[in-house]
C-alpha cells in the first residue's frame, strides 16, 4: 500500500513540476502571438530587433532598418518588445 501512495505522490509532483509550467508557457506564447501585427516591435531568436510591417499566413515581414525588410517565420519571434497599436487598444 505504501508503494502505491509513493507512486501517486511522485506522479503528482511530476505533473506539478513539468506539465503545469509548460502549459503556462504555451499560454504566454499564444498571448504574445496575438499581440503580433503591423507596428509591433519584436526581438527574434537570432537577436535582430525590428518592426513588423505585415503578417501573411506563416510569414512576418519585419523592417530592421530604413529600406531593409526581412521575412521571418512567426516561431522565430523571441518576444514582443512593443505590441501592435491595435493590440494595445483591444486589450484596454
Sequential pLDDT tens for the chain (92 residues): 888 999 999 999 988 888 889 999 999 888 888 778 899 999 999 999 999 999 988 899 999 999 999 999 998 999 999 988 875 555 54
Q: Give the start-to-end residue ranges of the domains of the chain.
A: 2-91
Q: Are 86 and 45 in contact (CB under 8 A)?
A: no
**How far is Cα 9 from Cα 73, in angstroms, rounded to an integer?**
41
| Length of the chain, in residues | 92
Q: Please give the pLDDT value at position 91.
A: 52
Q: In what order do the strands lie in the sheet with 68-72?
A: 68-72, 59-65, 49-56, 41-44, 77-82
φ, ψ of residue 36 in degrees (nearest 5): -80, 135
Q: Please give the pLDDT value at position 76.
A: 92
CATH architecture observed for domain 2-91: Roll (2.30)
Amino acid at each position: 500500500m505504501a508503494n502505491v501512495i509513493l507512486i501517486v505522490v511522485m506522479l503528482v509532483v511530476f505533473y506539478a513540476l513539468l506539465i503545469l509550467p509548460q502549459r503556462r508557457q504555451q499560454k504566454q506564447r499564444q498571448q504574445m502571438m496575438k499581440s503580433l501585427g503591423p507596428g509591433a516591435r519584436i526581438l527574434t531568436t537570432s537577436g535582430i530587433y525590428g518592426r513588423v510591417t505585415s503578417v501573411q499566413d506563416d510569414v512576418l515581414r519585419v523592417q530592421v532598418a530604413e529600406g531593409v525588410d526581412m521575412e521571418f517565420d512567426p516561431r522565430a519571434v523571441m518576444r514582443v518588445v512593443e505590441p501592435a497599436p491595435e493590440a494595445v487598444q483591444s486589450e484596454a
